Structure 1
Amino acid sequence: MKILAYTMAAVLLAAGAARAQSDDPTGPQPKLPTESLTIIGADGKQHVFTVELPVTQQQQDTGEMFRTSIPAGSGMLFMWPQPETQAMWMKNCPVPEDMVFIGADGIIKSIAEMTVPYSLTPISPGVPVLATLELQGGITAALNINVGDRVIAKQFGGG
């Protein structure tokens, strides 16, 4: 009986380890559903992006991993259940990103420009935010998108 119990325990442990390994992505996830999002600058200029929406934990954990480019007019919008101080990283991300941290009011609270590919260093706005928008590295500077600009999307009561 003890041998059977040990054997069953070993099988369950192996199955759990295999499942844990398969949950760790080894390639980019398929394109996710998208929505339009607009950033309005202090100068009134509008910048429209088509953003993917990772909604499951697995989709959020994978994010932009393994993607070798982020087109200029696109991005990925991570929504959090409530405003909180989030920390992102660049694990398995081969291209730099601009991370735009957005408050519940749709106002940009912080921007991390040109994040370092593959870095495991946490990137945080240092204040509670409701969302993180990942864009092509360097695009916020190129488009003059700044802290204090407004994001218009249904997730922030607009759009």
Structure 2
Amino acid sequence: MTIRMHRGLFAAVFLLALFVSAGLVTAQDNDIVFPTSELTLHTESGDYPLVVEVATSSPQRQRGLMYRTALDRGHGMIFDFGQSRPASMWMANTLIPLDMVFIRADGTVSGFHEQAEPESKAIISSSEPVRYVLEIGGGEAEAYGLKPGDTVSGPTIDK
């Protein structure tokens, strides 16, 4: 190898190390870690505790529940966008049906989409700006009797 090639290789390795240390590149998507928290859905039919993984960073929100083959009842993922905004999701690379619950900054349910089709690239959007999207197993929204105006509480929901 020439000196020029060594310098180029060194520069490439240095930049890769810099991006990895800054969290811009990971070795595998499996390296994304989700903290967990508890939420409670408050509906007319009762209060339902949930254990959720919390997605607040862009890599976490991009990964979501992709590649999962199962999701236990009473478990899910909450996406926190940090501020209210129109939310759009899709199911590409998601292998299980999900219900998507759109939640305002004050914890009230704006609306939801039931039984999102696994691996679909169809865009599922909130009808208004929301701060959070809660993903739970397909069919759970109906089982909980969830309706717009119901509330969600827990440490990950700012009040």
* TM category, shorter: 0.7 to 0.9
Matched-pair contact (CA < 8 Å) for 1:28–1:64? no
Corresponding position of 1:35: 37
SS at match of 1:53: strand
* Alpha-carbon distance, 1:24 to partner: 7.6
Answer whether contact 1:99 1:134 (CA < 8 A) is retained.
yes
Whether 1:100 aligns to 2:109 is no
Whole-angstrom CA distance in 2 between matches of 1:29 and 1:143: 30
The answer (yes or no) to whether the contact 1:28–1:65 under 8 Å persists in 2 is: no
- Secondary structure, in 3 states, of the residue corresponding to 2:126? coil
Q: How does 1:105-124 map to 2 (within 5 A)?
A: 105-124=106-125
In 2 relative to 1, CA 98–33 (structure 1 residues): closer, same or farther, beyond 3 Å? same
The size of the alignment, in residue pairs, is: 147
**What are the residue-to-residue correspondences of 1:7-156 with 2, within 5 Å?**
8=8, 25=29, 29=32, 32-41=34-43, 43=44, 45-154=46-155, 155-156=157-158
Give the Cα separation in 2 of the matches to 1:88 and 1:75.
15
The 2-side partners of 1:110 and 1:56 are apart by 23
Whole-Å Cα distance in 1 between the matches of residues 61 and 147 of structure 2?
25
TM-score (norm 2): 0.80
Counterpart residue identity of residue 46, structure 1: D
Structure with greater strand share of residues? 2
CA separation of 1:126 and 1:93: change in aligned 2, threshold 3 A: same
Q: Unaligned stretches of 5+ in structure 1?
A: none
Distance between the aligned counterparts of 1:69 and 1:77, measured in 2?
A: 17
Instruction: Give me the CA root mean square deviation.
Output: 2.7
SS in structure 2 opposite 1:67?
coil
Unaligned runs of 5+ in 2: none
Q: Which letter does structure 2 place at the counterpart of 1:156? A: D
With structure 1 as the length reference, what TM-score do the two structures score? 0.80
Q: Secondary structure at the match of 2:116?
A: coil
